[in-house]
Amino acid sequence: MKLSLSNIISAFIVLLNCVNIIAQKGIEDGSKYGHGDDSVKCLKNLTLCRDRIKTGNYTDAIRYWRVSFNECPQSSQYLYIDGAKMFNELIIVEKDPVRQNALIDTLMMIYDQRMKYFDQKGNVLGRKAVDLLRYRKDDIIAVEEAYNYLEESVNLLKNKSLMPVVAAFMTSTYALFEAGKVTDMKVIDNYSLASDIIDNALAENPADEDVKKVRENIDRNFITCGAHSCQSLINYFKPQYENKKTDIPFLKKVVSCMSTLDCNEDPLYFQASEALYQQEPSALAAFNLAKIFVTKENYNKAAAYYKEAIEKEKDPLNRAEYYYQLGWITFGKLEDLKSARKYALQAISLRPGWGEPYILIGDAYAASKDCFTDDFEKRTVYWAAVDKFVQAKSIDASLSEKVNERIQIYSSYFPDVETIFFYSLKDGDPYTVGCWINEKTIVRSR
């Protein structure tokens, strides 16, 4: 069969294209490895690079990595995972600022190229931002750039965000607020978003210490950053309230934020607390209502809600706090001294190393002199009171200043030597204080 000239030319073009395909790199034809010798070269460089990175031989690894990065960028995600690991190590050990900056720029380029070929934008943006903050945290322009990446990352991933990304998101938020680049409303908005992510993580794994640490840090910084006041919280939450007053997570956020800043006297706090209690009559909701009725000076109703909070609460430390608060209003407002001691002892049983309930008991004893008609017996209550103050600081040294003042005052009310002698007693003798106190102590003169 005789071929025409046009057939010969067509065959030649096909052959030429085949030759080009054989010679093309991955970056040129959009394939993972390229074709022909180039694909062999790509696979060889990837293998040699990975082997050397595993052993920490970055000097050799970087030669093979660079070829793969430039010639077959779609070959493997390990190209970018290993590359980020390698360049982070190189940045840390580099002493020359110029070379270090060049390495940081390359690290940022690694993240950009990873997103270009493998997407995963939310995840990669977060990692890129964390590294950018790590090396350029003193450059406010870089901090702002990192913040933008972090904001996009957490909005894309929401509850799937990594905890280091959430922590960096809030760190950069606080830094930008201090520099005057974001508003107080934005700080509250970001804190609200970060809190939701953390709450979800703790709901899935309540024992996760890393998440708890992030929670502790962002809460502490939120309180101290100066981005908020009771009024700013009201300005932030109030416009949302009508549309969200049946949304339990929203109500919890309002109550938690306002409680943290002691904004308990604002009507919005009361509205949110009551709505939360109606939607979810939990221990925390009851406790928040108790605090509200304390501020309203309705102590009987406050006591009722404290008792309900105690009944519903499972966590022993929270129950201890509720018992302690109930003890204080029972002592100071309802003047039921015996019940106040009962609640304080319940708090101690749940939290043995806590000194404050002992102070409460001591104050209740000191207020009990009306138990007696005899002047000597009236003064014996101060022995029992001082015993509790001494016990408080013996288990919690931080209370020393607080209790020493009480000890000094109440010791001056001890009976004098003549009165003790008149009752056939002397210093150091055992003695039981009567009435409802019924506490064993020792005789002491002033």
431 secondary structure, DSSP code: E
428-442 exposure pattern, b = at least 16 Cβ within 10 A, e = fewer: eeebebebebebebe
Predicted confidence (pLDDT) per residue in 237-283, tens digit = 999 999 999 988 889 888 888 887 788 888 999 999 999 999 989 99
pLDDT at res. 27: 73
pLDDT at residue 379 tops 50? yes
Domain ranges of the chain: 24-119, 136-227, 355-446
Predicted confidence (pLDDT) per residue in 210-244, tens digit = 999 998 898 888 888 887 788 888 988 999 999 99
pLDDT at residue 28 tops 70? no
Q: In angstroms, rounded to a whole number, what is the distance separating the alpha carbons of residues 249 and 244?
A: 9
Least confident of 21-30, 58-67, 333-342, 429-438: 21-30
Which of 6-15, 33-42, 286-295 is predicted most confidently? 286-295
Q: Do 383 and 414 touch, CB atoms closer than 8 A?
A: yes
Q: How confident is the model at residue 172 (pLDDT cuts 50, 70, 90)?
A: very high
Q: In angstroms, rounded to a whole number, what is the distance separating the alpha carbons of residues 174 and 184?
A: 10
Burial tier of 396 (Cβ tally within 10 Å: 0-12, 13-18, 19+)? middle
Predicted confidence (pLDDT) per residue in 67-107, tens digit = 889 888 898 898 999 999 999 999 999 999 999 999 999 99
Show Cβ contacts of residue 402 under 8 Å, excluding neighbours closer than 6 positions: 359
Q: State the virtual CA torsion across 423, 425, 427, 430 in degrees, nearest 10.
A: -110
Q: In angstroms, rounded to a whole number, what is the distance separating the alpha carbons of residues 184 and 123?
A: 27
Strand, coil or helix: 425: coil
Q: In angstroms, rounded to a whole number, what is the distance separating the alpha carbons of residues 121 and 155?
A: 11
- Find the angle CA(130)-CA(88)-CA(145) to the nearest 5 degrees: 30
pLDDT at res. 359: 96
Would the pTM of this model clear 0.85, i.e. be above it? no
pLDDT at residue 17 tops 80? no
In whole numbers, what is the pLDDT of the chain averaged over residues?
Answer: 89
Q: pLDDT over 70 for what percent of the chain? A: 92
Q: Do 50 and 75 touch, CB atoms closer than 8 A?
A: no
**What are all long-range contacts of 296-305, with beta carbons under 8 Å and residues at least 24 apart?**
297/333, 299/329, 299/333, 299/334, 300/334, 302/329, 303/329, 303/330, 303/334
pLDDT at residue 366 tops 80? yes
Task: Give the residue-averaged pLDDT of 33-57.
Answer: 81
Q: Which amino acid is at 68?
A: S
Q: In angstroms, rounded to a whole number, what is the distance separating the alpha carbons of residues 65 and 267?
A: 62
